[in-house]
């Protein structure tokens, strides 16, 4: 916790804020002086008091058993969930059949032509290359399965998101009710969404699609609402004065004016759905994610990478194309339509030729195996870096030292503190940074983990998150500063960041184990690798956006490079840096949870255990605790003006 | 133009939704009778097999898949699901068969005997055994480590950063059957159970230890290909007696030897045609399975290539499954 408290506020707090912070802390101390003795007398100190926990095991196990026994007879399942599940299966199947029917040539041509119409020739070529690469890697069919699942999930997410967004954009009251929920949904680790869906739908594609929708719809809703609210008042008045009805105003003015936000929302939704597509393989999504997951079972990093690369390629292509669509101006409507017609015609023609030649499936002879060289490289790395490197020691030694000197004391410290002291600590950090409301939410969220009976594992997970965030911030800020000061560094970094941000988290896990062994250290390492790109990017952007005039005047006053950085750039970029901290925390938590698969233990292990053993009581409690932890961490680091963008 | 676009899309969506309704029919929709959306695409007959996360199970599936595809003309989809959820998926028909089950009496009672949605598919022919193992190079230096009574003497040698002051007993995936926490406690051992969280992580760690000839104590099971790469010796626990593992908290005995079983979805078992008949007859030996596993996990052959190699050299074995 030390890193969080000291690094952020010390950057530069204007004088009055400092006083305000002191006042808040004083008030907190006062409240503590009254409440702590009471709590101590009533429940004693030490770990979370047993009297304050609620055991949910029996009701949850009962519910789970009831569902299994009744889902083929109960009307709720037959007439509601059954249809939902059926609908998902049928639509995924329909899309899948269309994709297979178009053949690899047809799909590639269609994708490239869409990219051409939306974003120009360069992206079209890139798109075609990306799809061909998926085929070359021998991943054509899994890619199509993932694509079919994604298309359905994204469409549903967009519909749900737009409906929610319309509601929020048109009604003030709904907006106030929805916004905190949507805000919160965006910061929760994807893993926490899997369990409740599995409880109702069982393992399989319907559960995977629905979990993806729940995860991916919020950004669409938020951005739709934002776009509708941000519409130019004067235009609206002009439309109104022309006598348009409310419905006409919405369709002809407000929605078109919100186009940019809508497309940004689509972009975010697609990226989040892709991220989920891999994690959902744990609950039977099939496709590329499943290949990654299966490859990891035989410790085959190369094969995992061969399935991971198509995901990255799909992500980069979809990201660039939808981003370009958001930027594109409005051309001549007539030529637009003609262009689309040509494009559609060409795609159909290619698909038909493919059919006629009988080349629908990707030919086996055209695949390249990258697994062997990649595995050789990984083996070499682990052979030479694991231990016995002169002077600096091997990675295994680092992991051991990190565990003994950082993770253990941190965990022991947190778990050793009386429970009320931990809550006070959270309040003391959250209040000065945010408002009393965020502080209260944070404290209640953490207390909820105690009530659920998982206080100790939650603090264990928390200690891992804190250690990982500290490392991420040190590395991320240093890299971000370097990138902000030199264009060349930024140019080199950009593609690297792109790839690392879209790579499925699972792919990291095995090389990390090979380097750091089993335990909490590899979980932390994977989390750092995953969160670093977002932190670097936000830091770089924040520093670059600092007013050039301020920099100029500092330079003219004879400030050295370091002085400029410390006294001008960093203070002015403070909101961006706080945002970086917030994003870092959220992303780190997501991976520390997955770290349960490599020995991270604590809540992540419980969640995995719940899924693996079908013991939903353990899993759901862990999932709920993860939600609480995510909420707490987000609120503690919540910057005053939260941006819409999510790092991953 | 945009307005029309929107309206067009709405019409398309409504049409799609109503088509969906038509397709699903108007009666009840039973979620437990829905196959995978990727099954039977383009008229191909499809079988969906559950692959568990360990390589032995991958070997079973690889060979079955190869034969189904190349000798019987099926298309095979595989899904990786953990053991207990796989039972649920099997009962719902989302997968058609599990080829290697290590014994789940609760699930068997519920799905096979009560609900009759799953049918037994016979022996796989392989016997599974779980136990505690130390590397053979360490057991040779310290022969008495192979008796559990002496384990406490060696606790300090098995210590790692994760196990704190105690010795480390490494467990694997959370999906595996394990009594280790209870065993450590009831046998009063000075050990800490550290969960690797997945078999992949566990294997990677064991190989790293073996490379440096470091001592380690681990939960492991046979048949397993890793024994060929890292020879290991079993530590004798108090002998297994029928029923000694009935109460999870009080277990103080070794793990049993389990003949591994196959299970089929009940409907698939009845109407699955040649595929179902073939899967019921599928039966091989521990050596066969290890041969294929080793090719997959150690020589890094794709499961398909490994299966082809095995099939080409064991014609008489698999011919019997097809008759």
Q: Among B86, B197, B203, select the one facing A597 at the smallest CB separation.
A: B197
Task: Look at residue A643 in the predicted model and tell me its pLDDT.
Answer: 40
Tell me which chain B residues have a C-beta less than 8 angstroms from the C-beta of A598: 196-198, 201
For residue A599, what are the contacts with CB-CB under 8 A and spacing of at least 6? A513, A518, A519, A520, A522, A523, B162, B194, B195, B196, B197, B201
Instruction: Tell me the chain B residues in contact with residue A283 when contact means C-beta distances shorter than 8 Å.
Output: 85
Mean pLDDT score, A94-120: 85
Give the residue-averaged pLDDT of A3-16: 45
Name the least confident of A171-175, A331-335, A514-518.
A331-335
Q: Closest residue of A to B48, CA-based? A: A286
CB contact under 8 A, A612 and B175: yes
Share above pLDDT 90 across residues of chain A, in percent, rounded to a whole number: 5
Q: Phi, psi (5° rounding) for residue B49?
A: -110, 140
Interatomic CA distance for residues A109 and A351, integer angstroms? 8
For A507, which residue in chain B has the nearest alpha carbon?
B200
How much is the pLDDT for B134? 92
- How many other C-beta atoms are found inside a 10 Å radius of the C-beta of residue B190? 16
pLDDT tens-digit readout, B92-144 = 887 899 999 888 888 888 889 988 889 999 899 888 889 999 999 999 999 88
Whole-number Å distance between alpha carbons of B171 and B168: 9
Instruction: Answer yes or no: is pLDDT of A555 > 70.
Output: yes
Segment A292-300 shows an average pLDDT of 72
More confident residue, A407 or B311: B311
pLDDT at B62: 93
User: B84 contacts in A (CB within 8 Å)?
Assistant: 612-615
Shortest CB distance from B296 goes to which of A159, A281, A298?
A: A298
Query: Domain ranges in chain B?
Result: 34-126+259-322, 128-257
CATH number for the domain whose boundaries are B34-126+259-322: 3.40.190.10
Q: What is the mean pLDDT of chain A?
A: 80
A83/B174 Cβ within 8 A:
no
> CB–CB of B198 and A206 under 8 A?
no
Assess whether the region B34-126+259-322 and the region B128-257 belong to the same CATH fold: yes
Q: Classify domain B128-257 by CATH number.
A: 3.40.190.100
Rounded to an integer, the average pLDDT of A455-461 is 90
The alpha carbon of residue A362 is apart from the nearest alpha carbon of chain B, in Å, by 15
Q: In angstroms, rounded to a whole number, what is the distance separating the alpha carbons of residues B80 and B58?
A: 9
- Residue A246: burial class (beta carbons within 10 Å; 0-12, 13-18, 19+): exposed
How do residues A181-210 score in pLDDT, each as one tens digit? 887 777 777 777 787 788 788 778 888 898
Structure tokens at A502: 């879209």
Kindly report which listed range (A110-114, A241-245, A471-475) carries the lowest average pLDDT score.
A241-245
Percentage of chain A with pLDDT > 70? 90
Question: Which residues of A are less than 8 Å from B204 in CB distance?
Answer: 299, 510, 513-514, 518
Which residue of B32, B296, B300 is in closest CB contact with A372?
B300
Does A203 sit within 8 Å of B81, measured CB to CB?
Answer: yes
- Which of B82, B181, B201 is the best residue to mutate to test the A interface, defined by the most A CB atoms within 10 Å of its own CB? B201
The structure tokens 């290991």 sit at B232
Name the nearest CA neighbour of A197 among A121, A283, A127: A283
Check CB contact under 8 Å for A599 and B194.
yes
Torsion of the alpha carbons at B206, B209, B213 and B215, rounded to the nearest 10: -80
SS3 of A390, please?
coil
pLDDT-based confidence at residue A328 (cuts at 50, 70, 90): low
The C-alpha atoms of residue A198 and residue A616 are separated, in whole angstroms, by 9
Distance (Å, whole) CA A36 – CA A45: 9
- Six-digit token pair at B299? 């020589």
Does residue B52 carry a pLDDT above 50?
yes
Query: Tokens 């389990």 identify what position?
Result: B258
pLDDT score, position A390: 67
Mean pLDDT of all residues in A256-273: 83
Chain B residue with minimum CA distance to A80? B29
pLDDT-derived band of residue B35, with 50, 70 and 90 as boundaries?
Answer: low
Crossing angle (nearest 10°) for helices A455-485 and A520-544: 40
Indicate yes or no: CB of A202 within 8 angstroms of CB of B85. yes
Answer yes or no: is pLDDT of B203 > 50: yes
Backbone torsions φ then ψ of B119, nearest 5 degrees: -115, 150
Name which of A152-161, A273-282, A523-532, B13-22 the model is least confident about: B13-22
Using alpha carbons, list the distances in angstroms from residue A517 to A438, A513, A522, B4, B168.
Answer: 38, 5, 7, 59, 13
The pLDDT of B240-253, averaged and rounded, is: 83
Let me know: does A479 contact A443? Beta carbons within 8 Å.
no
Size of interface A-B (CB pairs under 8 A): 232
Between CA A123 and CA A129 the distance in angstroms is: 10
Closest chain A residue to the Cα of B294, Cα to Cα: A298
- Residue ranges of alpha helices (H) inside B158-250 are 180-186, 199-211, 226-229
**pLDDT on residue A295:** 75
């Amino acid at each position: 916790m030390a890193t969080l408290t000291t690094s952020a506020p010390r950057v530069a707090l204007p004088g009055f804020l400092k006083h305000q912070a002191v006042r808040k802390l004083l008030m907190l101390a006062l409240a503590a002086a009254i409440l702590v003795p009471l709590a101590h007398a009533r429940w004693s100190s030490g770990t979370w008091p047993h009297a304050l926990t609620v055991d949910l095991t029996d009701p949850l196990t009962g519910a789970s058993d009831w569902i299994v026994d009744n889902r083929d007879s109960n009307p709720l399942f037959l007439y509601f969930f059954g249809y939902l599940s059926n609908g998902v299966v049928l639509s995924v199947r329909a899309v899948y059949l269309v994709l297979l029917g178009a053949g690899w040539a047809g799909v590639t041509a269609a994708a490239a032509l869409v990219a051409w119409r939306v974003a120009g020739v360069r992206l079209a070529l890139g798109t075609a290359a990306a799809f061909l690469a998926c085929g070359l890697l021998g991943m054509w069919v899994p890619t199509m399965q993932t694509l079919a699942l994604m298309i359905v999930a994204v469409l549903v997410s967009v519909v749900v998101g737009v409906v929610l967004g319309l509601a929020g954009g048109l009604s003030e009251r709904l907006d106030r009710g929805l916004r905190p929920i949507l805000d919160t949904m965006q910061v929760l680790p994807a893993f926490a969404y899997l369990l409740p869906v599995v409880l109702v739908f069982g393992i399989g594609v319907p559960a995977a699609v629905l979990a993806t929708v729940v995860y991916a719809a919020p950004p669409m809703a938020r951005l739709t609402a934002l776009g509708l609210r941000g519409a130019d008042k004067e235009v609206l008045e002009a439309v109104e004065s022309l006598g348009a009805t409310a419905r006409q105003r919405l369709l002809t003015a407000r929605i078109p004016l919100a186009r940019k936000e809508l497309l940004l929302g689509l972009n975010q939704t697609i990226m989040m759905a892709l991220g989920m597509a891999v994690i959902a393989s744990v609950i039977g999504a099939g496709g590329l994610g499943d290949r990654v997951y299966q490859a990891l079972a035989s410790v085959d990093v190369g094969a995992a990478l061969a399935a991971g690369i198509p995901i990255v390629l799909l992500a980069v292509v979809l990201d660039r194309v939808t981003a370009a669509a958001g930027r594109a101006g409005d051309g001549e409507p007539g030529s637009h339509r003609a262009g689309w017609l040509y494009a559609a015609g060409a795609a159909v023609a290619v698909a038909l030729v493919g059919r006629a030649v009988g080349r629908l499936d990707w030919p086996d002879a055209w695949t390249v195996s990258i697994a062997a060289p990649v595995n050789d490289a990984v083996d070499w790395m682990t052979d030479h870096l694991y231990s016995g490197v002169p002077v600096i020691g091997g990675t295994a030694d680092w992991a051991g030292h990190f565990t003994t000197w950082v993770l253990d004391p941190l965990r022991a410290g947190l778990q050793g503190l009386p429970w009320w002291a931990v809550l006070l600590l959270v309040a003391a950090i959250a209040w000065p940074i945010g408002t009393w409301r965020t502080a209260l939410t944070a404290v209640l969220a953490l207390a909820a983990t105690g009530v659920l009976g998982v206080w100790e594992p939650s603090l264990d997970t928390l200690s891992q998150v804190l250690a990982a965030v500290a490392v991420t911030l040190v590395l991320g800020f240093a890299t971000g500063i370097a990138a902000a000061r030199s264009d060349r560094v930024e140019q080199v970094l950009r593609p690297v960041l792109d790839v690392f941000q879209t790579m499925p988290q699972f792919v990291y896990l095995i090389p990390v184990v090979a380097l750091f062994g089993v335990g909490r250290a590899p979980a932390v390492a994977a989390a750092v690798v995953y969160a670093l790109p977002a932190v670097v990017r936000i830091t770089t952007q924040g520093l670059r956006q600092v007013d050039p005039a301020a920099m100029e005047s500092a330079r003219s006053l004879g400030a050295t490079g370091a002085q400029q950085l410390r006294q001008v750039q960093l203070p002015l970029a403070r909101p961006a840096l706080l945002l970086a901290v917030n994003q870092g925390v959220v992303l780190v938590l997501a991976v520390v949870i997955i770290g349960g698969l490599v020995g991270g233990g604590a809540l992540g292990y419980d969640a995995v255990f719940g899924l693996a053993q079908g013991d939903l009581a353990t899993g759901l409690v862990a999932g709920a605790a993860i939600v609480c932890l995510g909420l707490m961490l987000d609120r503690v680091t919540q910057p005053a003006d939260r941006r819409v963008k999510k790092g991953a | 133009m945009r307005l029309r676009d929107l309206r067009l899309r709405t019409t398309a969506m409504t049409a799609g939704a109503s088509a969906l309704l038509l397709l699903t029919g108007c009666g009840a929709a039973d979620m437990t009778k829905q196959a995978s959306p990727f099954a039977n695409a383009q008229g191909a007959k499809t079988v969906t097999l559950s692959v568990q996360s360990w390589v032995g199970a991958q070997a079973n599936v690889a060979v079955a898949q190869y034969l189904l595809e190349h000798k019987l003309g099926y298309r095979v989809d595989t899904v990786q699901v953990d053991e207990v959820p796989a039972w649920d998926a099997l009962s719902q028909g989302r997968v058609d068969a599990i080829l290697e089950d290590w014994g789940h009496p609760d699930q068997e009672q519920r799905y096979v005997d009560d609900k009759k949605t799953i049918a037994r598919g016979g022996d796989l022919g392989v016997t599974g055994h779980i136990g505690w193992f130390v590397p053979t190079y360490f057991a040779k230096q310290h022969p008495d480590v192979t008796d559990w009574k002496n384990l406490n003497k060696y606790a300090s040698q098995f210590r790692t950063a994760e196990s704190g002051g105690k010795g480390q007993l490494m467990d694997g995936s959370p999906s595996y059957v394990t009594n280790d926490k209870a065993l450590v406690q009831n046998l009063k051992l000075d050990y800490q159970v550290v969960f690797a969280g997945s078999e992949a992580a566990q294997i990677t760690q064991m190989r790293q230890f073996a490379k440096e000839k470091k001592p380690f104590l681990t939960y492991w099971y046979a048949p397993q290909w890793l024994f060929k790469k890292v020879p290991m010796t079993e530590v004798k626990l108090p002998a297994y007696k029928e029923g000694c593992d009935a109460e999870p908290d009080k277990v103080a005995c070794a793990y049993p030897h389990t003949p591994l079983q196959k299970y089929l979805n009940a409907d698939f078992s009845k109407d699955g045609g040649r595929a179902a008949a073939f899967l019921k007859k599928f039966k091989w030996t521990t050596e066969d399975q290890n041969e294929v596993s080793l090719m997959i996990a150690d020589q890094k052959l794709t499961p398909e290539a490994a299966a082809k190699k095995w099939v080409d050299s064991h014609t008489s074995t698999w011919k019997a499954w097809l008759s």
